[in-house]
Amino acid sequence: MSNVYSTNSPKYNLHLKWNDTRKEAYLYEKLQNQKVQCGLCPRKCVIQSNSVGFCKVRKNINGKLYAQSYGKAAHVTVEKIETEALFNYAPGAQILSLGNFGCNLDCDYCQNWMYSQFQYTKPEYIHEYTTQSIVEIALKNNVKILSWTYNDPAVWFEFVIDTAREAKKYGIKSLFKSAFFLSRDAVIQLCDVIDIFAISIKAMDEAYYKQFTKGWLLPVLENTKYIHSTGIHYELSNLVVTGLTNNVNNYDKMIDFILSELSPDIPIHFTRFHPDYKYMQYAKTPVEDVMEARKRALKRGLKYAYIGNVFESIGLNTYCPNCKELLVERYGLCTYVKDSLLSNGKCYKCGYQTGIEEPYLMTKK
């Protein structure tokens, strides 16, 4: 199968020329001859002086590793929490979405490649922020949740940690949306400051991961199980890619993992792919495919199964797992929390305690 790039855009940043030493990386080891070994993700890149790792934004300067993208954002905007494949946490709540650049993966079908692949990020898209300025933007817009998202906040690690910690002083929560290709040390540190996780599992196949994401699957699954053990709210998503993962084998393996290693209470989002980056040879995922995945998940006993990247469908709604009463209706970017969902997360009709958390942040309609 040939890779067909979706863009003729020039590579703006072939070489990272910054020498920003304001933030030394949190997770790395110094080696001989001024080399360092990054400990942020399973790659454990060994980086020579004046060079960067796989992600292109962590740089060795004279034997010390620095987070070169610290405080540099490519995208900041107010959105709805549903855009992050989070349906069971404060439905309808506003979030401040923050995007950086660089990534420790290189997915052939990346939907955010203009940020995740640093060489394509236009310099004029990069803006400077501080931890306090991010908090001030959230307060000004009356937003109670910061969402670290888009490229993959894994490589923005130090700024995420520092800002999330500062935000907590003001009662602002943090949501971390990631492919979770991280080291265990990184995950443990994130759990100290992150309140909600949105975890993207690309597929349940190791060969697939290596070919199409340039990463590997096992650390993602182990990290997901660790998050489950902490009790922190999280939801899973699986991008259903036409020609790759739009098949029952992928759906069933995902469902098996949730049932055997996690819990039927964990929400799963089967989201539609659209042609992008290097993967332009297939059409957008048919709605019927993601609906089939949802149907199989519910039939197997999962309580919350959704679809994504769809404007209108019952697969976007939240129903009571017990009596099937409609609790939250979604249409486009609009969320309607029904009177059948009480403020304590219970179903009014049958009294079932749903898995919907933080109802005080909900937008009641």
Q: What is the number of other CB atoms lying within 10 angstroms of the CB of residue 364?
A: 12
Question: What is the predicted pLDDT for the residue at 5?
Answer: 32
- Annotate the chain with three-state secondary structure: CCCCCCCCCCCCCCCCCCCCCCCECCCEEECHHHCEEECCCCCCCEECCCCECCCCCEEEECCEEEECCCCEECEEEEEEHHHHCCCCECCCCEEEEEECCCCCCCCCCCCCHHHHCHHHCCHHHCEECCHHHHHHHHHHCCCCEEEEECCCHHHHHHHHHHHHHHHHCCCCEEEEEECCCCCHHHHHHHHCCCCEEEEECCCCCHHHHHHHCCCCCHHHHHHHHHHHHHCCEEEEEEEECCCCCCCHHHHHHHHHHHHHHCCCCCCEEEEECCCECCECCCCCCCHHHHHHHHHHHHHHCCCCEEEECCCECHHHCEECCCCCCEEEEEECCEEEECCCECCCCEECCCCCECCCECHHHCCEC
Question: What is the predicted pLDDT for the residue at 74?
Answer: 82
Domain span holding position 55:
28-67
Residue 336 lies in a domain: no
Pair 59, 155 in one domain: no
Pair 125, 245 in one domain: yes
Pair 33, 169 in one domain: no
Full pLDDT tens readout for the chain, 365 residues:
233 333 445 565 544 567 888 899 999 999 999 999 999 999 999 999 999 999 888 999 999 999 988 998 887 899 999 999 999 999 999 999 998 888 898 887 777 756 656 666 677 778 889 999 999 999 999 999 999 998 889 999 999 999 999 999 999 999 999 999 999 999 999 999 999 999 999 999 999 999 989 999 999 999 999 999 999 999 999 999 998 999 999 999 999 999 999 999 999 999 998 776 777 788 889 999 999 999 999 999 999 999 999 999 999 999 999 999 999 999 988 999 999 999 899 999 999 999 999 866 766 65
Pair 55, 204 in one domain: no
Residue 42 lies in a domain: yes
Question: What is the predicted pLDDT for the residue at 135?
Answer: 97
Residue 257 lies in a domain: yes
Pair 46, 94 in one domain: no
Question: What is the predicted pLDDT for the residue at 75?
Answer: 77
Pair 79, 172 in one domain: yes
Residue 111 lies in a domain: yes
- Cβ–Cβ under 8 Å, residues 116 and 101: yes
Pair 95, 216 in one domain: yes
The whole-angstrom separation of Cα 137 and Cα 134 is 5
Question: What is the predicted pLDDT for the residue at 1?
Answer: 29
All residues at 6 or more sequence positions from 41 whose CB lies less than 8 Å from its CB, including other chains: 55, 104, 154, 181, 182, 183, 186, 219
Pair 163, 58 in one domain: no
The whole-angstrom separation of Cα 321 and Cα 334 is 22
Residue 291 lies in a domain: yes
- Cβ–Cβ under 8 Å, residues 98 and 149: yes
pTM of the model: 0.92
Question: Token pair of 167, please?
Answer: 């935000």
Pair 33, 120 in one domain: no
Pair 46, 133 in one domain: no
Question: What is the predicted pLDDT for the residue at 280?
Answer: 78
Residue 151 lies in a domain: yes
Residue 199 lies in a domain: yes
Question: What is the predicted pLDDT for the residue at 127?
Answer: 83
The whole-angstrom separation of Cα 53 and Cα 45 is 6
Total residue count of the chain as it appears in this document: 365
Number of structural domains found in the chain: 2
Question: What is the predicted pLDDT for the residue at 4?
Answer: 33
Q: Looking at residue 289, which CATH number applies to its domain?
A: 3.20.20.70
Residue 234 lies in a domain: yes
Pair 44, 128 in one domain: no
Pair 88, 216 in one domain: yes
